[in-house]
Structure 1
Amino acid sequence: MDDERGDADDARVVGVGPWPGGPDAWPDDPRYDRELLAHGDRRNVVDAYRYWTVEAIVADLDTRRHPFHVAIENWVHDLNIGSVVRTANAFNSAGVHVVGRRRWNRRGAMVTDRYLHVHHHPDAAALATWAAGAGPDAGRLPVVGVDNVPGSVPVETFAFPRACVLLLGQESTGLTEAAQAMCDVVVHITQHGSTRSLNAGAAAAVAMHAWALQHVPPP
């Protein structure tokens, strides 16, 4: 079983052990994984999904996905893509789209890509073609770029569309010109220090949280 705990050197015990009482006490529910019931569930999942199969978790998440997608350009095997995917899982994004190279560095995702719908597009034009018919009633999904480029607007004052695509560039170069051209708008995160830009994974988290503040009711 893949380790979903993150740092292999972390000595903390996470998750739960075998189901108390042994096989005779196992729940009679097809969502539960017999191997996990027998050996314990150390995955990086919330308690409500302990002992569930991956397929059951995905099916349940599918009933309440949020209507925003996350896309990120992948030209140089950016290490930040994994953390973007993990954050997209945390906010229950409708999907993640890798633009550019099909292979991406999964280490930072901590296996959370199993619980998401991950798609690939060879370039920005292909992503634009997909977005043209992926919105409500087969309409167009607006594309919101996230980068501190000239003409971008502050994320703090931007009204996010409920259904949209959040498009991020690479850590080193930001959004390519082709990606910027397909965006309806590009937003930036206001900074107050000396660094020119935020880490791409951090910027993605801020953008998703800003969307959620506007469209997800508090629990």
Structure 2
Amino acid sequence: MGPIQVNSKDLSKELYKKYSSVHRRKVRVWQMICVLSHYVEDDIVGEVTSSIHICLYRNNLPAVRQYLETFAILLYLKFPTLAEEQLIPIFHDKGMRQQALSSYVFIAANVILHSRQSVQIYHLNQLLPPILPFLTSHHHSLRGFTQLLVHSVLSRLWPTLHPETSEDAVFERRCFQELKDYLAENSDCVRLRVSIEGFLDVFDPNASGTPPGIFSARPEVSDFECVPVSVMERVIEFLNDVREDLRQAIANDTVTIKNEDLAVGEHHKSDESVSEMVKTGQEVLDFQKKITPHRGDSEQALNLNTRGHSGVGDEYISRIISEMEEDDQVFDLALEARLHAAETIKQSRQELIVVASLVERIPNLAGLTRTCEVFRAAGLVVADKSVLQDKQFRLISVTAEKWLPVTEVPVDSVKAYLERKRGDGYSVIGLEQTANSMPLDRFGFPDRTVLVLGREKEGIPVDIIHILDACVEIPQLGVVRSLNVHVSGAIAVWEYTRQQRNQR
């Protein structure tokens, strides 16, 4: 696997443009290699790791480097004795590239965090000390990345370490405690950690080396790789769409074959002529025995074969390759334009998050998805993302879920989610009729708002109402006491949007 990447003139390039054909091929190759990592055995692991080190030392864009790092982590988790044997000498190499060192720090930290419990403390004792000097590196990216990863290791494994009573051990523990506290509380470290914690907190090398992990949606890092985040869903959807057409085509072909007047006598003659040609040593094309070619087809194949050295086949292949390269260039331009449009849409989103985890009916969820996408909300929260695959949902949402970040938060996790968003600077507003709720037309929405919707009949539970910053209700003039939750949510989203537009 590794030598293919090392020896390929195209895939070993270090200077290439983002989203170019070379970039895209590199990503595809390393995605495939990550999936195949489980099949690396003892007899080839030395050659494979040698190749991965060559590739890690080269300059590569982040979308490629992430798969190199994931592949290396998976290898060291499978062969734990190789981690110290290969990584420590690299950390001691004073001439190592800073970009490569950042990757190796990430690899070592994740080997520590995700290794089996029986070897985890050993990895910690062996791999953490050579990483610590990079906390003082003059290279900003290496220093900042090391701070993030050392904090992650210490915050997770510090409680498991057993303190010793010797004076040296107490001194060493105090030093690490001071370092841990600094990394946890320093404002610059906190700001840097917040900017990347969406990836670091959820990174799982075992899941990242599988097809679902590679193609899973990551709304918080839409540029994490250069393939569309919904590619897996679109492949499945495409296969489902064409399967029925394929079955129909096979059925039609079967009928055609049954109705065709097959010249049995001619077929026998064709068989005899082919046998004669074999006996006389003439060159023929190989074919399946169950398929008997017509005489004309055989003669055409023979003529093509005898002219094989004339270059006709080469010209045909060259023309096909040329057409494929032209298509590749067109695809590059289209992909770049689409990514630019997606980035523009992302930047223009409003800072409004609609929490619909309590909403159960599919038509309401689909309608809310469509509403949030139309008014460019920052995201929609649902209890179960599998609802996005429902046929009724898709019929109502008309693909809105493909353009709107949708987050899964189960009902029993809603309170924790709201508290976390409040810590991020959002105001948590409930759409509910309560004793202290304010009329919607008199309420001024904060710029950063989390809008909580209740259940279809019961509304928002009391325990959630108690943690809200405010409640708003829609003034009503009729006899019926409430509106449908989708309608209510749409009205509230529009009111927020109207207020934001008036502030411009």
After superposition, give the CA deviation of every residue in 1:82-114 in whole Å (9 maximum; x if it has no partner): 11111111110111112x344436333222011
Residue matched to 2:397: 109
Residue matched to 1:188: 473
Residue matched to 1:6: none
Structure with greater strand share of residues? 1
Residue matched to 1:74: 358
Residue matched to 1:212: 497
- Structure 2 distance, partners of 1:31, 1:95, is 28
Counterpart contact for 1:152–1:186, Cα < 8 Å: yes
Residue matched to 2:375: 91
Residue matched to 1:37: none
Unaligned 5+ runs, structure 1:
3-23, 34-51, 135-139
Residue matched to 1:125: 415
- Structure 1 distance, partners of 2:365, 2:477, is 25
Shift of 1:62: 0.7
Residue matched to 2:180: none
CA RMSD of aligned residues (A): 3.0
Q: Give, as a single letter, the amino acid of the residue that structure 2 aligns with 1:63.
A: Q
Cα 1:218–1:142, aligned 2, differ >3 Å: closer, same or farther?
closer
Residue of structure 1 aligned with 2:457, choices 172, 176, 190: 172
Cα 1:207–1:167, aligned 2, differ >3 Å: closer, same or farther?
same
Shift of 1:217: 4.5
Q: Give, as a single letter, the amino acid of the residue that structure 2 aligns with 1:147.
A: E
- Structure 2 distance, partners of 1:28, 1:102, is 34
- Report the number of matched residues: 173
Q: Give, as a single letter, the amino acid of the residue that structure 1 aligns with 2:347.
A: T
TM-score when normalising by structure 2? 0.31
The answer to which structure, 1 or 2, has the higher relative contact order (CA under 8 A, 6+ apart) is: 1
Q: Give, as a single letter, the amino acid of the residue that structure 1 aligns with 2:445.
A: F
Structure with greater helix share of residues? 2
Residue matched to 1:65: 349
After superposition, give the CA deviation of every residue in 1:116-159 in whole Å (9 maximum; x if it has no partner): 1111222322322331333xxxxx21111112233211001001
- Structure 2 distance, partners of 1:193, 1:77, is 25
- Structure 2 distance, partners of 1:75, 1:213, is 25
TM-score when normalising by structure 1? 0.68
- Structure 2 distance, partners of 1:172, 1:78, is 15
SS, match of residue 182 in structure 1: coil
Alignment of 1:21-32 (within 5 A): 30=332, 32=334
Counterpart contact for 1:73–1:175, Cα < 8 Å: no
SS, match of residue 355 in structure 2: strand
- Structure 1 distance, partners of 2:448, 2:454, is 20
Residue matched to 2:104: none
SS, match of residue 79 in structure 1: helix
Cα 1:56–1:129, aligned 2, differ >3 Å: closer, same or farther?
same
Residue of structure 1 aligned with 2:436, choices 130, 133, 151: 151
Residue matched to 1:198: 483
Runs of 4+ displaced beyond 4 Å: 27-31
- Structure 1 distance, partners of 2:478, 2:443, is 22
SS, match of residue 143 in structure 1: strand
Alignment of 1:42-61 (within 5 A): 53=338, 55-61=339-345
Q: Give, as a single letter, the amino acid of the residue that structure 1 aligns with 2:479.
A: S
- Structure 2 distance, partners of 1:132, 1:31, is 41
Could you tell me the percent identity over the aligned residues? 23
SS, match of residue 193 in structure 1: coil
Counterpart contact for 2:359–2:456, Cα < 8 Å: no
After superposition, give the CA deviation of every residue in 1:5-64 in whole Å (9 maximum; x if it has no partner): xxxxxxxxxxxxxxxxxxx9xx9685637xxxxxxxxxxxxxxxxxx74x5543221121
Cα 1:193–1:30, aligned 2, differ >3 Å: closer, same or farther?
farther
After superposition, give the CA deviation of every residue in 1:62-85 in whole Å (9 maximum; x if it has no partner): 121111111113363443011111
- Structure 1 distance, partners of 2:418, 2:403, is 24
- Structure 2 distance, partners of 1:96, 1:164, is 12
Unaligned 5+ runs, structure 2:
1-233, 238-325
